[in-house]
């Protein structure tokens, strides 16, 4: 009997499948479609200290096998979250990973402190990678020093697992995973979306109000898998992999590349009932390959040595 539990530092997940931040609301929106307690985790939409309105529409546009978004981190702020959403997430038995944002180091720390004072938070995911907000963390996530500073600052505030979410919009993502590890992160999650753009050629106008946005969906999966593999080789930290996962096979690819868990975002838009299919697909795969624990699959890539013989 295959055991789907997996571990992100001290955080035990029932299975490796997490609703991706920014793609799963505050989790409660999906409670009619899926028992939130049956998920590995729920990564809620990024929270600043205060409420944010986000960008005007159009906020999304579809592209080949993917989509661009520039939502602009619309959100209710951390105080409303702990008052209005967290108790219900607890009641439903969700393992809640709270994605947090900040314009300053102090804001990250204050949001983390508020969350640490409340029951029901499983881990903190540091959003240092949203491509759509200048002052929303990417200024930290695109600099090794900035990444180190955010992680080490929040590390001092909280005993909750701290998981910086890395941007793929850098030359060497593995060096950012190393900076996170040195700063005391419990895990890293990757990848956030790829900065991208689409133009209406008839009107010569951008298809998003924000001009640029983040590309997600199956189009980015091979790049995300490569980046997970690079980070897996570079750090000992657990990795939460994501980027275009739409099937159990896609998720298994990330596990083999080195992810201990995965987040699913865009595919959940298409199929909010995807979660049961992912767990049963992983279970069937593990049974077929006589793998009893997810950990035995993580980073199990086999590279034939005689390829160039």
- Pick the closer one to other proteins by CB: 24 or 232: 24
Q: Residue 148 to residues 60, 180, 227, 228, 242: CA-CA distances in angstroms?
A: 32, 6, 19, 19, 22
For position 44 contacting other proteins by CB under 8 A, the verdict is no
Select 76 or 170, whichever has its Cβ closest to other proteins.
76
Q: Which residues pair with 67 in a beta bridge?
A: 62, 216
Count residues near other proteins (CB under 8 A). Answer: 35
> Which one of 23, 101, 130, 231 is the catalytic residue?
130
Nearer Cβ to other proteins (252/274): 274
Q: Which is nearer to other proteins, 88 or 182 (CB)?
A: 88
For the CB of residue 291, give the shortest distance to other proteins in the complex, in Å. Answer: 28
Task: Report which of 60, 38, 86 is spatially closest to residue 206, judged by C-alpha positions.
Answer: 60
The nearer residue to other proteins, 177 or 246, going by C-beta atoms, is: 246
Q: What is the rounded CA–CA span in Å between residue 214 and residue 148?
A: 24
Query: Considering the complex, what minimum distance in angstroms separates the CB of residue 54 from other proteins?
Result: 6
Residue 239's H or E segment, with its range, is strand 239-242
Residue from 6, 129, 167, 268 touching other proteins (CB under 8 A): that is 268
Choices 152-160, 226-234, 252-260, 263-271 (CB under 8 A): range interacting with other proteins:
263-271
DSSP H helical segments within the chain, as ranges? 77-80, 86-91, 105-116, 138-141, 144-157, 173-182, 221-234, 248-257, 266-270, 274-288
Complete DSSP assignment for 37-73:
GGSSEEEEEEE-SS-B--PPSP-EEEETTEEEE----
Site string for other proteins, 235-254 (x = CB under 8 A): -----------x--------
Whole-number minimum distance, CB 213 to other proteins, in Å?
11
**Residue 164 lies near other proteins (rule: CB under 8 A):** no
The stretch near other proteins (CB under 8 A) out of 149-157, 168-176, 190-198, 269-277 is 269-277
Please report whether residue 178 would count as binding other proteins according to CB under 8 A: no
> Is residue 62 a contact residue for other proteins (CB under 8 A)?
yes
Angle at 180 between CA 136 and CA 256, to 5 degrees: 105
The answer to whether 101 is a known catalytic residue is no
Among 272, 277, 296, 300, binds other proteins (CB under 8 A): 272
171 Cβ contact list (under 8 Å, min separation 6): none
The CA distance from 205 to 183, in Å, is 42
Bridge partner list, 195: 214
| Residues annotated catalytic, as ranges | 130
């Amino acid at each position: 009997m295959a055991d789907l539990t997996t571990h992100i530092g001290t955080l035990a997940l029932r299975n490796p499948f997490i609703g991706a931040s920014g793609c799963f609301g505050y989790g409660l929106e999906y409670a009619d479609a899926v028992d939130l307690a049956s998920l590995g985790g729920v990564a809620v939409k990024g929270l600043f200290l205060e409420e944010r309105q986000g960008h005007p529409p159009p906020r999304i546009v579809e592209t080949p096998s993917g989509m661009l978004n520039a939502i602009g981190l619309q959100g209710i702020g951390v105080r409303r979250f702990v008052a209005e959403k967290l108790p219900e997430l607890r009641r439903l038995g969700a393992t809640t990973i709270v994605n947090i944002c900040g314009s300053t180091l102090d804001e990250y720390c204050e949001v983390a402190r508020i969350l640490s004072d409340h029951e029901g938070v499983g881990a903190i995911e540091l959003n240092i990678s949203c491509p759509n907000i200048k002052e929303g963390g990417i200024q930290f996530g695109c600099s090794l020093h900035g990444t180190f500073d955010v992680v080490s600052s929040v590390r001092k505030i909280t005993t909750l697992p701290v998981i910086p979410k890395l941007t793929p919009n850098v030359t060497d993502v593995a060096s950012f995973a190393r900076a996170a590890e040195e700063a005391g992160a419990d895990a890293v999650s990757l990848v956030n979306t790829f900065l991208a753009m689409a133009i209406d050629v008839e009107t010569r106008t951008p298809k998003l109000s924000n001009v640029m946005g983040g590309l997600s969906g199956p189009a980015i999966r091979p790049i995300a898998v490569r980046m997970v593999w690079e980070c897996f080789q570079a750090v000992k930290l657990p990795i939460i992999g994501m980027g275009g996962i739409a099937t159990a096979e896609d998720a298994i690819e990330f596990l083999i590349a080195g992810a201990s868990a995965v987040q699913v975002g865009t595919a959940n838009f298409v199929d909010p009932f995807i979660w049961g299919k992912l767990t049963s697909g992983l279970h069937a795969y593990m049974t077929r390959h006589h793998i009893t624990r997810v950990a035995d699959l993580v980073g199990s890539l086999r590279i034939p040595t005689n390829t160039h013989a």
